[in-house]
Amino acid sequence: MKALVVGSGGREHTLAWSLLRSPKITEVVCVPGNGGTATLPHCRNLAMNPGDFEGIARFALVNNLELVVVGPEQPLADGITDYLQGQGLKVFGPCQAGAQIEASKAWAKALMVEAGIPTAKAEVFTDEAAALAYLNQEGAPLVIKADGLAAGKGVTVAHTLGEATQAITDIFSGKFGAAGRQVVIEAFMTGQEASVLAVTDGKTIRPLVPAQDHKAIGEGDTGPNTGGMGAYAPTPVVTPEILERVQRLVLEPAIATLRRRGIDYRGILYAGLMITPAGEPQVVEFNCRFGDPETQAVLPLLETPLEEVMLACIEGRLETLDLQWQTGAAACVVVAAEGYPDSYPKGMDITGFEEAAATGALVFHGGTRRQGDRILADGGRVLGVTGLGDSFEGAIANAYAAIDKIRFEGMYYRRDIGYRVMGS
């Protein structure tokens, strides 16, 4: 079977690599892919825009690509699944109606309230004056969220009323365009964050191994937030008991409520969680797709062939499939370009891939491109290096040993990925 992966980041390289581990997958085409998917055996890139649904459909049909896997949220929110399914293709990723769970935080919050899912108290505003009045009534700390997709930049955790007011003013002055037509003001939650990605066929929902991301650019979780600087799995923050509660209190009610609303949600449902000091999971947000870099830590541990899992979701028979996991741990350390998450240079030569791979680590490309036989940096988060081991210490050491072999000008990475679990 041949597959098509939509997207160009570290997540998509990981998806292509993971699909190709199955003997049943003979070829993967990435649209548009990156330097990693250009050099992965049995994988190639197609220079086409992920928003070109017609072009993707035509290419997949002509070339007999039987499975389409959608990486990023934007095409899902724009209805790629509905369109491609209408052309007779099998697509892993929710329909446009389902993708609202990520594309509108107000919509997601209303769904959570309807489903009785534990989450922070919140109010939605379309009017700036009303939003400001609510701020003053509630007092800081508060969390201010632009409603729509904002590439991870639409949320302000405001510790003072001044910061909260500024965030509201920014959103209503159009900083996030249409994504800021509504604003969600949410109570501040404390605890540790964790990501539980789950696969679903719209009826059955099964969690993948839980992961923990590191969003801040700086060591010790300091500095501005990024797309994610590293992740590890399975995170012990989500104990088997907590995971069971997530299943019963979050995942199952979410799917049941979507169904009640007539939404047949198939694909990934990603619950971003705050685990309170008392061990209670509360939902920070839902995403409608794989996380980046969580995917780079989670999928290498999956033993069940990925295409089997995806086809079971698409075909509505997930109930009959058990997910098998490798024992041990995985840790992904993101290597970024100097200056990220602000502006950063591109075009630097990256070397040391073979030596890095010889350590047993997996080097997934994010922002890279191939030029002849060179690999050049081409984005903020350039690589995601996943180490594997029997313990977290082993996995983390493996990732850093591999990064030691890699060179490009200005490369930056956090040296403390997994600090919360060192020694476990």
Ligand X SMILES: Nc1ncnc2c1ncn2[C@@H]1O[C@H](COP(=O)(O)OP(=O)(O)O)[C@@H](O)[C@H]1O
Contacts to ligand X by CB under 6 A: 120, 143, 145, 152, 154-155, 157, 186, 188-189, 193, 215, 272, 284-285
186 touches, from ligand X, Mg ion, none (C-beta below 5 to 8 Å by class)? ligand X
387 touches, from Mg ion, ligand X, none (C-beta below 5 to 8 Å by class)? none
* Min CB(213)–ligand X separation in Å: 8
Identify which of residues 59 and 188 has a Cβ nearer to ligand X in the complex: 188
Identify which of residues 65 and 254 has a Cβ nearer to ligand X in the complex: 254
Question: In which element (H, E) is residue 35 found?
Answer: helix 35-39
Identify which of residues 184 and 395 has a Cβ nearer to ligand X in the complex: 184
Query: In the numeric block, which tokens belong to residue 214?
Result: 């590191």
* Min CB(102)–ligand X separation in Å: 8
Identify which of residues 151 and 358 has a Cβ nearer to Mg ion in the complex: 151
Determine the Cα–Cα distance for residues 381 and 413; give it in Å rounded to an integer.
Answer: 10
Identify which of residues 202 and 227 has a Cβ nearer to ligand X in the complex: 227
Q: Which residue minimizes CB distance to Mg ion?
A: 272
120 touches, from Mg ion, ligand X, none (C-beta below 5 to 8 Å by class)? ligand X
* Min CB(155)–ligand X separation in Å: 4
Q: Tell me whether strands 65-70 and 2-7 are parallel, antiparallel or unpaired.
A: parallel
3-state class of 170 per DSSP?
A: helix
The residue among 6, 52, 54 whose CA lies nearest residue 30 is 6
Identify which of residues 27 and 193 has a Cβ nearer to ligand X in the complex: 193
155 touches, from Mg ion, ligand X, none (C-beta below 5 to 8 Å by class)? ligand X
416 touches, from ligand X, Mg ion, none (C-beta below 5 to 8 Å by class)? none
* Min CB(88)–Mg ion separation in Å: 34
Q: What letter represents residue 54's amino acid? A: E
Cis peptide before 50 (omega within 30 of 0): no
The DSSP-derived string for 326-358 is -SSEEEEEEEE-TTTTS------B-B-HHHHHT
Identify which of residues 55 and 141 has a Cβ nearer to ligand X in the complex: 141
Determine the Cα–Cα distance for residues 297 and 302; give it in Å rounded to an integer.
Answer: 10
401 touches, from ligand X, Mg ion, none (C-beta below 5 to 8 Å by class)? none
Number of residues interacting with Mg ion: please give it, by CB under 5 A: 1
Task: Check if the beta carbon of residue 15 is closer than 8 Å to that of residue 79.
Answer: no
Identify which of residues 28 and 274 has a Cβ nearer to Mg ion in the complex: 274
234 touches, from ligand X, Mg ion, none (C-beta below 5 to 8 Å by class)? none
Q: Tell me whether strands 183-187 and 192-200 are parallel, antiparallel or unpaired.
A: unpaired
Identify which of residues 189 and 377 has a Cβ nearer to Mg ion in the complex: 189
Question: Would you give the DSSP letter of residue 251?
Answer: I
7 touches, from ligand X, Mg ion, none (C-beta below 5 to 8 Å by class)? none
Alpha-carbon 61 to chain mean position: 28
* Min CB(97)–ligand X separation in Å: 19
The DSSP-derived string for 123-137 is EEES-HHHHHHHHHH
Segment interacting with Mg ion (CB under 5 A) among 248-256, 266-274, 319-327, 341-349: 266-274
Angle between helix axes 105-115 and 252-260 (nearest 10 degrees) is: 100
Compute and round to an integer the Cα radius of gyration of the chain: 21
Greatest C-alpha distance within the chain: 60
Task: Check if the beta carbon of residue 251 is closer than 8 Å to that of residue 68.
Answer: no
Give the position of tokens 């892919």.
33
**Strand stretches in 337-378, DSSP E:** 362-365, 368-371, 374-377
157 touches, from ligand X, Mg ion, none (C-beta below 5 to 8 Å by class)? ligand X
**Residues 267 to 286: which contact Mg ion by CB under 5 A?**
272
Interface positions with Mg ion (CB under 5 A)? 272
